[in-house]
């Protein structure tokens, strides 16, 4: 018999397929009491982004998800990518392996990316003792991929505790490498087609996540729905295939030790060239169809989510962008919402592709010039 505590919690959740469902409390189910939240983020990510290191910051955030899912045999646990960090909900029996993976990925981020990643494991029982909750919904973006949506305030509390130094995971010794198989960063930034790429974070204001906040979320989604494909920042046919040297280097650092890095880079470059030729010629090889893969990449992307608030990185025209900002500003004056946004001219893709022949590869979208981290900084500035 499958139970919530057996680790199959996420797979047993009902699925909704229209993003408007993120504002429906009926789509969410509480995490089991014996679960934990693995949470991590980059210290001083805003400074790193201002120094032009936004790609490294994104890579570090996705590495947390990659390391945990790999060490746990890619079990379908709920997770969310936050731009400069990530959150993964896990059953208690995974804690020893999760602790090792988080410690290893902290070491790898320091060694290879020269960034400081902090991490924590926060028990659900402690979150509920604070009068908060973590409720999870399952949003299906394609026939093969569903993303977790989080509500209840508990995830935000866990992140705040981590930043205060509670529940901290100590990094492993320098040189320790996590299993980052599938972590990939091969795509060039995707330029806006509708006007601009806008990263938005909207969280409940002093009045809380009540019906007024839910209505606001629905109103914002309705504006984006007027734009082609819901303001999706990737074209329906997927992004163009190009050789990105920085991406090759980052992927090689993730998937090979120093002594094998040159051969790994050559292998990655060879894969990109082969994929480019197959795409141009309309051919397949070994069951891999690059045109289908690119379409799935677009479908499987997480450009919008709910993580104790609405988060979106969208490609939208100026008129609709202004309408969304006015909705947010008026709601902020009424105490319904607190928000931050950041505009840029392109979106960034970081990928987790355990095998390109499968259809469940997942792709994380952020703004190419700071995205969520800069929107969060904007939000923080408004709150002080």
Tens of pLDDT, residues 263-282: 988 988 888 888 888 988 99
Residue-wise pLDDT tens digits, 121-180: 999 999 999 999 999 999 999 999 999 999 999 999 999 999 999 999 999 999 999 999
pLDDT at 215: 95
Apex 65 CA angle, 163 and 361, nearest 5: 150
Residue 316 vs residues 60, 225, 295, 377: alpha-carbon distances, Å: 27, 10, 20, 21
Handedness of CA 19, 72, 85, 335 (dihedral sign): positive
The predicted pLDDT at position 243 comes to 63
How far is 96 from 72, CA to CA, in rounded Å?
A: 11
pLDDT for 187-234, tens place per residue?
A: 889 999 999 999 999 999 987 778 999 999 999 999 999 999 999 999
Residue 156 and residue 37 in contact, taking contact as beta carbons nearer than 8 Å: no
pLDDT for residue 374: 94
Q: Which residue has the tokens 């909704």?
A: 16
pLDDT at 6: 56
The stretch 285-290 carries a mean pLDDT of 87
Average pLDDT over the chain reads: 92
Q: Which two tokens stand for residue 370?
A: 């700071």
Higher-pLDDT residue of 29, 6: 29
End-to-end CA distance of the chain, in Å?
50
pTM (2 d.p.) = 0.92
Query: Which distant-in-sequence residues (6+ apart) come within 8 Å of 266 by Cβ?
Result: none
**pLDDT for residue 143:** 93
Percent with pLDDT over 90 in the chain:
75
pLDDT at 3: 40
39-92 per-position pLDDT tens digit? 999 999 989 988 989 889 999 999 999 999 999 987 889 999 999 999 999 999
């Amino acid at each position: 018999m499958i139970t919530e505590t057996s680790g199959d919690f996420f797979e047993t959740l009902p699925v909704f397929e229209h993003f408007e469902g993120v504002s429906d409390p009926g789509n969410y189910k509480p995490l089991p009491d014996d679960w934990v939240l693995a949470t991590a983020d980059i210290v001083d990510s805003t400074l790193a982004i201002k120094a032009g290191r936004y790609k490294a910051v994104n890579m570090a955030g996705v590495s947390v998800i990659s390391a945990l899912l790999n060490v746990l045999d890619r079990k379908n646990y709920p997770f969310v990518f936050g731009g400069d960090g990530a959150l993964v909900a896990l059953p208690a029996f995974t804690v020893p392996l999760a602790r090792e993976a988080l410690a290893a990925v902290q070491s790898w981020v320091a060694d290879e990316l020269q960034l400081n990643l902090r991490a924590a494991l926060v028990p659900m029982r402690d979150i509920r003792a604070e009068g908060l909750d973590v409720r999870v919904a399952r949003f299906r973006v394609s026939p093969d991929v569903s993303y977790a949506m989080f509500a209840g305030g508990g995830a935000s509390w866990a992140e705040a505790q981590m930043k205060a130094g509670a529940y901290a995971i100590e990094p492993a010794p320098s040189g320790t490498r996590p299993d980052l198989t599938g972590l990939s960063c091969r795509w060039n930034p995707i330029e806006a087609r509708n006007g601009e790429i806008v990263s938005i974070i909207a969280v409940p204001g002093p009045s809380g996540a009540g019906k007024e906040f839910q209505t606001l979320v629905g109103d914002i989604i309705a504006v984006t729905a007027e734009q082609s494909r819901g303001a999706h920042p990737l074209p329906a046919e997927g992004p163009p295939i190009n050789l990105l040297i920085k991406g090759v280097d980052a992927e090689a650092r993730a998937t090979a030790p120093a002594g094998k890095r040159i051969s790994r880079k050559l292998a990655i470059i060879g894969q990109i060239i082969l994929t480019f030729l197959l795409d141009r010629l309309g051919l397949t090889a070994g069951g891999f169809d690059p045109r289908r893969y690119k379409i799935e990449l677009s479908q499987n992307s997480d450009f919008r989510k709910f993580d104790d608030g609405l988060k979106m990185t969208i490609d939208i025209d100026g008129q609709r962008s202004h309408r969304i900002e006015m909705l947010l500003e008026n709601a902020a004056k009424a105490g319904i919402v607190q928000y931050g946004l950041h505009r840029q001219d392109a979106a960034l893709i970081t990928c987790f592709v355990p095998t390109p022949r499968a259809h469940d590869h997942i792709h994380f979208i952020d703004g190419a010039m700071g995205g969520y981290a800069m929107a969060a900084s904007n939000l923080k500035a408004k709150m002080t």
